Structure 1
Amino acid sequence: MKIRLSIAVACLGAGAIACPAFALDFPARKPGLWEIQTGEGTGKSPAGAHTMQQCIDAASDKAMRDMGQGMGKDMCSRQELRADGARLVMDSVCKIGNTTATSHAVLSGDFGSAYRMESQSTYNPPLMGRAEGTSVMEAKWIGPCKADQKPGDMVMSNGMKMNMLEMMSNRPKK
């Protein structure tokens, strides 16, 4: 589902696991170039995947996590994050327009070379005709950022390039 994938990308992929404030902190990702693949399904690789690349440093990674925390405060009535062995488990209840999205996500990996998130959500009332859905996000560190990239740069699967830090600095303040 495009809306859910966009939220997942904005909140988790682009935001380096950027989600609302939790008692437990997400690990910071290794600086450099990350390839992030998102899609629906639960196979080893996401079905119908979309791939993007993101250049980060410690400051841009933190800024995008902070942005996600701000978004979550406005949209979510429940946010829980807990460690389950080496995995992180997130449960949330968020409003997307008139729809309440109840989600359960499991994150695994080391955040230095790779991580994976599998999520399941229900929508009440249905969102764009769907009452439930699943998604998978896989991210891997592929090396230093390219010479023409700066922290915050994202290259979407269609080749469109944007800088998340610049977009964040241009958004209206509350």
Structure 2
Amino acid sequence: MKRKSTTLFCASGLLLALAAATGAQADELPTRKAGLWEMKISSAGMPENITRQCIDAAFEKEMKGMAASLGGQHKCSKQDIRKTSAGYVIDAVCETMGMTITSHTEFTGDFNSAYTMKQTGRVQGKTTGKAGQDTAMTMQAKWLGACPAGWKPGDIEIPGGTRINVKDMPK
């Protein structure tokens, strides 16, 4: 059960962080540089997950819009983003899929060549029991250069080499 809820926290936390960053706050996360990005995601008790994603400015804008609409499906009592001297911090408390997710996310880096996202939180709800579960995740993202031939914005390569386009996924 721990692996399932940790995976759910990671996925939900990333979406909630992005959704919070697209709201009506004074600060917003910067747009990533166009090209191919490698993202290494690590979380306690799970193997490191490495993906690569091709993006451009139009895709980034579309993803922020998609995250904002997904964020609208979550009931959030708190979604704060603020710029700090080291980067950006997002604090959120949201209810989704019968769970309450409390997260603290810190972004450092320049969004042009590399950035790091560290997220800690607590998941409480039907899959975690009354006590809930503390979670932590780190994502290190690195710009690799132009997207390879045959890749288009939205393409993401998941572990095992399978490539899909986020735009083609069911909504």
**Shared fold, TM over 0.5:** yes
**Structure 2 residue 4 is the aligned partner of structure 1 residue 5:** no
Distance 1:123 1:79 in 2: 16
Amino acid across the alignment from 2:60 = D
User: What residue ranges of structure 1 are gaps of 5+ in the alignment?
Assistant: none
Pairwise CA RMSD of aligned residues?
A: 2.1
What runs of 5+ residues in structure 2 fail to find an aligned partner?
1-5
**Aligned letter for 1:59?**
A
Q: Which amino acid aligns with 2:12?
A: I
Counterpart-to-counterpart distance in 1, 2:105 and 2:72: 18
TM-superposed CA distance for 1:166, in Å, is: 2.6
TM-score of the aligned structures, taking structure 2 as reference length: 0.84
Identity over aligned pairs, percent: 32
CA contact (8 A) 2:13 2:103 kept: no
In 2 relative to 1, CA 161–122 (structure 1 residues): closer, same or farther, beyond 3 Å?
same
Deviation by residue 1:119-151 (Cα, 9 ceiling, x = unmatched): 111122374465111000110000100101001
Counterpart for residue 166 of structure 2: 164
- TM-score, with structure 1 as normaliser: 0.83
Matches for 1:136-151 after TM superposition, within 5 Å = 136-151=138-153
How many residue pairs get aligned? The number is 160
1:29 aligns with 2:32: yes
Residue 65 in 1 paired to residue 64 in 2?
A: yes
- Aligned residue identity for 2:54: C
Residue 74 of structure 2 corresponds to 75
Q: Which amino acid aligns with 1:71?
A: L
Q: Is 2:85 the counterpart of 1:85?
A: yes
- Inter-partner Cα distance in structure 1 for 2:97 and 2:46: 27
